[in-house]
Each structure stands twice: as C-alpha cells, then as structure tokens.
C-alpha cells in the first residue's frame, strides 16, 4: 500500500518508515511528525480494527492517547492512522530519569484503571487470556525471548499447566478487582516529555479491556526493572506505583502469576 497515494492526510507530508512490528506490521511516521500509520497484513486486520475501536471508545474520556485520523482496509492490508503523542518512549530514559517520570506514569495508568469498567465494551479477562495461551501453546508458538530465564528451558505445556493450577484463585480475585486495563503497559508504551519528565500519554492500546488490575501492574513493574540501576530505585518505584493505587500491601504472588501467564499469550 502506498500511503502517500492512499491516505488524504498525506498532503501534510510524506510517510516515512519508522519501524517494523513483531507480527508483520509496519509503522510509518508522517513527515510533519504529527501522525503515525500502522499497516498490517489481512491476517491481522481484525486485531488492528480492535485497536481502532478502543481508541475511539477512549476519546472524550480524559485519557491522553492517540486519536483515530483514518482507517483503510484493502482486503490485503489494513491501515490505521493515529495522531502522535509528544515525547519519547520511557524505555529511552536513564534510570534516574525514569525514576523522576515514574509517578506521572503511574498516574496515567491509574487514570485508565479508574474508568467505569461497567461501561467498557472490551474485555481481556483471565478466562479469555488463558484460552489465548492454550491456543499459543497448542501451536508451539511461544516466543522463548518473552519467558523469564528460569522458564526458557521448560516445556510450554508445563508452563501452561502451572498457570492452570492457579486459575480458580485468580478468577476469584479478578471478580473482586476488575478494572479497565491498558493490556500492555510496558515502557515503550509510555510517552514522556524529555525536559519535564512528565508522562504525556499512552500508546499501543490494542489490548485494552476489563481485567484484574494486577495484569497491568505486573507488566509495568517487570518491564521497568531493567531501567533501575540500584535496588533502592526499584524499591522506590514499586512503592510509588502501589501508593498511587492506595494499595498498602501488594500481592506479590498475584504479580508473579500474571508474569507467568503473559508470555504464553503472545504468538
């Protein structure tokens, strides 16, 4: 698909290759820097349409995230054009910078969690995520790069069985603490102003839906661990995140469970 010809907003500047995604998608940035276009093959068009619908639902709900500019589906490829969120990805910050940005990042995620869950038409609850994990494992499609080091040499079926044993307990917890979740709150998906070190918004919301808040918290904590240079930084960040949620005693077993499940859902 030639974006310059296919999309009317190309009149604001040429579309320049930005990066390629892990599932065959391609991302372009408009020359003026104010919009991005994500292109996917037909096999992932439905998934991209889901991201489009989630962004449309978030509009007007006081969440800093991209807005849908255009949508195109040729049958062979689909394209979603979105406004850009200013700043740089939090993954590009130093440990000290990340620690300063962290409270505003926690507030941004908390703002999503505080949306009315009963008004959200999307769900990514534990039952559906487990079904997804069963499918990925059955196709032998688990990406070992996503697994913790201790699990890389263990059979995927064994990892899935370990998760399944905990399902009854985790389902009860989810029922009592279900919120609107981002779905993939890793550092590349938090945009931060490099000068003020304040979070400017969240991107990549294709997995947004109602779920146990710990599904989000586990990913945010684990992904940030590589950014801390000292144990004190990690402890301060952990405390700040849960303080923003008024959680005085974080459930570490629950965090660990979602870190075991999430790598099995990508594939």
HEC assignment per residue over 43-81: HHHHHHHHHHHHHHHHCCCCCCCCCEEEEEECCCEEEEE
16's CB contacts (< 8 A; 6+ apart) are 28, 29, 30, 31
Is 184 an active-site residue? yes
CA atoms within 13 A on the CB side of 76: 2
Which of 9, 62, 150, 184 is catalytic? The answer is: 184
Q: For residue 88, give the H/E element and its range.
A: strand 88-89
Query: What is the rounded distance in angstroms from the CA atom of residue 151 to the CA atom of residue 54?
Result: 33
Bridge partners, 202 (sequence order):
190
Q: What angle do CA 141, 127, 153 make, to 5 degrees?
A: 35
Residues with active-site annotation: 184
């Amino acid at each position: 698909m030639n974006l310059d010809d296919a999309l009317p907003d190309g009149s604001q500047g040429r579309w320049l290759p930005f990066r390629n995604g892990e599932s065959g998608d391609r991302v372009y940035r408009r020359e003026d820097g104010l919009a991005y276009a994500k292109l996917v093959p037909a096999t992932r068009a439905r998934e991209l349409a889901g991201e489009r619908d989630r962004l449309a639902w978030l509009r007007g709900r006081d969440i800093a995230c991209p807005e849908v500019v255009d949508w195109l589906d040729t049958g062979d490829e689909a394209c979603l054009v979105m406004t850009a969120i200013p700043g740089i990805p939090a993954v590009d910050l130093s440990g000290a910078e990340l620690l300063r940005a962290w409270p505003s990042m926690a507030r941004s995620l908390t703002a999503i969690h505080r949306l009315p869950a009963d008004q959200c038409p999307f769900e990514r609850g534990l039952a559906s995520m487990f079904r997804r994990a069963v499918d990925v494992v059955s196709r032998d499609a688990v990406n070992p790069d996503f697994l913790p080091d201790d699990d890389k040499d263990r059979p995927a079926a064994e990892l899935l069985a370990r998760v399944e044993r905990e399902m009854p307990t985790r389902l009860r917890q989810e029922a009592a603490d279900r919120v609107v979740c981002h779905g993939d709150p890793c550092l590349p998906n938090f945009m931060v102003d490099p000068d003020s070190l304040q979070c400017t918004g969240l991107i990549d919301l294709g997995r947004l839906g109602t779920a146990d808040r710990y599904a989000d918290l586990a990913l945010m904590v684990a992904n940030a661990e590589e950014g801390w240079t000292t144990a004190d930084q990690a402890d301060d960040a952990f405390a700040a995140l849960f303080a923003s949620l008024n959680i005085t005693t974080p459930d570490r077993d629950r965090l660990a469970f979602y870190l075991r499940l999430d790598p099995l859902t990508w594939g």
